Chains A and B, each alone.
Chain A
């Protein structure tokens, strides 16, 4: 099984965003964390890279990512007022793309801040 370690990894679980975490992985899961808090350790250990979910679902049925991307684009394009929401547990790069998408489809873009 492949082993890998990363030092100074960044934990995204809470707003502290601690970036001094040591990680050790075996295969497709993290087996050890250093310097993480209880929440961080659980976060790292509970998210594996296993292939345990369907790539995509369209109308409840398994689909390819291409099909799902096509369906998503069509729904958002056809909508008069689409909403892009969330943006918390994701990267700034994805957020940046999400704003661009909202702009292209003429929708609303919003985050957890408005709650």
Chain B
């Protein structure tokens, strides 16, 4: 099983009568999510707005989002996968071990009630945040959540959506998919796109010391990454494009100040549901945009003798 059963945010606004947030705290991290897209607005088929919807918050602690919830399900840290797997079993009326359920911090009654509500929803949605996708289990948790939602469609309409942070990280996925065929972690070292998470994902590349130069834009890994990765950035030539002189800029060989996205730089960004939106910059920046600087670097590279990749067939096989 794989894939994703999802929708644009307006579908949630217009239809959802049952909303789950799992491992996320939108009240603090996506402050307009409730009021503009999901819980509070009056929708085409939910004319009563908030009163027409039930909200369940699943998290390891009671966050400020809890006061918006009708039901709070507090899971023991690291037990999300077990909870989702139990829910998947209950959805299909399979027996579950009550003793194992107890380890999750929730009771069988709570979970059965949760499943009944999901099945009885007219249109349900599960939003999941980094509390699910970046904790123990990581992408296995996300996959389990996606599977739960897909399977619920045998009973009612149900969709899911990851709560993506970081401005236009969704756009990065979208653009890389259409230009290279893959969403992230793409190597062009053989001259054509190859995808292999773990081999070509940035932290792995940096910690192993695989690369010998880095261009950083729209990120500040010097402030967030594990120390061995930062050490490698400092050891090898690093180039930073950023509106500010960042932590990474300070360890870089080259820093170029660029115009701030959306405030001074025009262009396109993608919302978490992959809807593209135009930017409307208001301030004229003294600095060039990322788009322009990357283009100028590319033009300089093009002036140099062409690098010809080894033919695929000539790469010796082990």
Contact = CB atoms under 8 A, between A and B. Distances in A.
A contacting B, Cβ–Cβ less than 8 Å: yes
Contacts of B300: 69-70, 72-74
B168 A113 contact: no
B303 to A, nearest CB: 8
Contacts of A102: 186, 188
Contact of A15 (B165, B259, B302): B165
Contacts of A56: 254-257
Nearest to B191: A106
Interface in B166-204: 166-176, 179-180, 183-191, 197, 200-203
Given A44-B263, A88-B168, A104-B302, A114 B184 contact: yes
A15 B301 contact: no
A66 to B, nearest CB: 8
A95 to B, nearest CB: 4
Interface stretch (B24-32, B65-73, B101-109, B117-125): B24-32
- Contact size range, B: 35 or more
A5 B187 CA distance: 43
Interface in B267-318: 267-272, 276-291, 293-298, 300-302, 304, 307, 309
Given A49-B283, A56-B257, A94 B301 contact: no
Contacts of A40: 31-32
Interface in B206-247: 206, 210-219, 221, 236-237, 239, 243-245
Interface of A: 4-6, 8-20, 23, 25, 28-30, 37-40, 44, 47-51, 53-59, 65, 68-115
Interface of B: 29-33, 36-37, 134, 163-176, 179-180, 183-191, 197, 200-203, 205-206, 210-219, 221, 236-237, 239, 243-245, 249, 252-257, 259-272, 276-291, 293-298, 300-302, 304, 307, 309
25 contacts: A14-B29, A15-B170, A16-B36, A16-B272, A17-B277, A19-B278, A30-B283, A40-B32, A47-B264, A49-B283, A68-B254, A68-B255, A72-B300, A76-B215, A79-B237, A87-B171, A89-B219, A91-B289, A92-B171, A98-B215, A99-B176, A100-B179, A104-B301, A108-B189, A110-B201
